[in-house]
């Protein structure tokens, strides 16, 4: 997601553009449908499906494009600066628009901004962490430990940083040749059948079990999810396996060909950052409406998700984000014709 801030000179890899395009649409949809009534069974099951893999898959792709060590200056410019800007924007939105009581808690990320903080930490520590023997296994154990560690669920996004780190590492461990081999061994039809089977299993789990979709959020500890330590560990291991399976099945199923959909994958960062501001307003207002019925509510919220994604992937918002993050560059471009 983060590689979309800067213009790249290398040829586009449309497989990953298409993959990111699908995922960012699901990110927006997942956040919009959280406004749905608890009576909406269809959107409840859809929420399970989306949250079971959309962030693990995005984090995997972020790791895939993070093999080169980034300087501290680059990390601050690409991650810390947008984090601070949007934290302030969220604060202003909460206080002056939706009148929600809050403070400017810079160490407690608001809404989607946890991802920027997590990326900063992952990119900073990974070059050294990978020197440790059995580093991947250690990352999995750390993710399991987070569930009974007593860590604050949002302070510095620490639980999510630990829980999702294995997916970032998986991305750094995967190169284009491994992707090619995966796609050779798993045909698109086989991958589609696997995804359909995984979806059916998850819907059955959502409807028949007492587990909440929050088991995939990475934020909450086992006690909050009403699980014993052993139950929590087993469920989280199951979540790891399921999310990884879907991530790699999608890698085999997504097309490598350029399409109109591909450009969305080039502009995911702007969509990710700006959509959260809109979602906060929509969710706040939607809860005030009477229940519209499952069909009407589902149609409206899914339609809003698509329209919002289409709106925010327009070049205007990517340019706006670049101007926010590179004000000096924008100033130079403005003053050049006046010389």
Please, which pLDDT band fits residue 31 given cuts at 50, 70 and 90? very high
Does the pLDDT value for residue 338 go beyond 50? no
Write down the domain spans for the chain: 2-338
Average pLDDT of the segment spanning 205-229: 95
Angle at 300 between CA 41 and CA 90, to 5 degrees: 95
- Token pair for residue 104? 């400017």
If you write DSSP's letter for every residue of 83-105 in order, what string do you get?
Answer: HHHHHHHHHHHHHHTS-------
- pLDDT tens, residue by residue, 251-265: 999 999 999 889 999
Average pLDDT of the segment spanning 120-127: 97
Residues 6+ apart with CB under 8 A from 55: 27, 115, 164, 218
User: Which of 171, 187, 175 is CA-nearest to residue 56?
Assistant: 171
Q: What pTM was estimated for this model as a whole?
A: 0.91
Angle at 161 between CA 156 and CA 167, to 5 degrees: 160
* b/e 232-251 (16+ beta carbons within 10 angstroms → b): bbebbeebbebbbebbbbbb
Average pLDDT of the segment spanning 287-303: 88
- Average pLDDT over the chain reads 91
- pLDDT tens, residue by residue, 309-320: 999 999 999 999
Judged by DSSP in three states, 69 sits in: coil
Burial degree of 257 (CB within 10 A; 0-12, 13-18, 19+): exposed
Q: What is the 3-state secondary structure (H, E, C) of the chain?
A: CHHHCCCCCCCCCHHHHHHHHHHHHHHHHHHHHHHCCCCCHHHHHHHHHHHCCHHHHHHHHHHHCCCCCCCHHHHHHHHHHHHHHHHHHHHHHHHHCCCCCCCCCCCCCCHHHHHHHHHHHHHHHHHHHCCCCCHHHHHHHHHHHHHHCCCCCCHHHHHHHHHHHHHHHHHHCCCHHHHHHHHHHCCHHHHHHHHHHHHHHHHHHHHHCCCCHHHHCCCCCCCCCCCCHHHHHHHHHHHHHHHHHHHHHHHHHCCCCCCCCHHHHHCHHHHHHHHHHHHHHHHHHHCCCCCCCHHHHHHHHHHHHHHHHHHHCCHHHHHHHHHHHCHHHHHHHHHHHHC
More confident residue, 290 or 86: 86
Please, which pLDDT band fits residue 335 given cuts at 50, 70 and 90? very low
Average pLDDT of the segment spanning 177-189: 96
The pLDDT, as a whole number, for residue 1 is 60
Average pLDDT of the segment spanning 124-138: 97
């Amino acid at each position: 997601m983060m590689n979309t801030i800067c213009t790249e000179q290398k040829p586009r890899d449309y497989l990953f553009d298409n993959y990111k395009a699908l995922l960012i649409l699901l990110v927006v949809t997942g956040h919009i449908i959280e406004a749905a009534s608890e009576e909406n069974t269809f959107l409840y099951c859809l929420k399970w499906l989306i949250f079971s893999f959309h962030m693990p898959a995005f984090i995997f792709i972020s790791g895939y494009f993070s093999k080169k060590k980034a300087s501290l200056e680059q990390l601050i410019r690409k991650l810390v600066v947008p984090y601070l800007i949007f934290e302030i924007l969220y604060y202003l939105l909460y206080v002056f628009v939706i009148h929600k009581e809050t403070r400017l808690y810079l160490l407690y990320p608001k809404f989607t901004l946890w991802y920027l903080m997590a990326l900063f930490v992952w990119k900073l520590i990974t070059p050294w962490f990978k020197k440790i023997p059995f580093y991947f296994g250690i990352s999995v154990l750390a993710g399991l430990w987070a569930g009974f560690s007593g860590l604050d669920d949002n302070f510095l996004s620490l639980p999510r940083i630990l829980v999702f780190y294995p997916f970032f590492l998986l991305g750094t461990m995967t190169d284009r040749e491994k992707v090619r081999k995966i796609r050779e061994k798993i045909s698109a039809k086989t991958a589609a059948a696997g995804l359909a089977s995984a979806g059916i299993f998850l819907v059955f789990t959502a409807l028949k079990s007492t587990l909440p979709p929050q088991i995939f959020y990475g934020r909450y500890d086992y006690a909050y999810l009403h699980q014993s330590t052993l139950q929590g560990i087993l469920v989280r291991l199951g979540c790891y396996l399921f999310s990884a399976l879907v991530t790699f099945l999608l890698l085999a199923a997504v097309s490598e060909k350029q399409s109109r959909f591909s450009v969305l994958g080039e502009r995911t960062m702007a969509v990710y950052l700006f959509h959260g501001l809109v979602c906060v307003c929509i969710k706040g207002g939607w809860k005030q409406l009477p229940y519209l019925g499952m069909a009407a509510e589902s149609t409206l919220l899914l339609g809003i998700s698509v329209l919002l994604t289409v709106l925010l992937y327009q070049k205007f918002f990517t340019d706006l984000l670049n101007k926010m993050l590179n004000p000096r560059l924008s100033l130079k471009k403005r003053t050049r014709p006046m010389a």
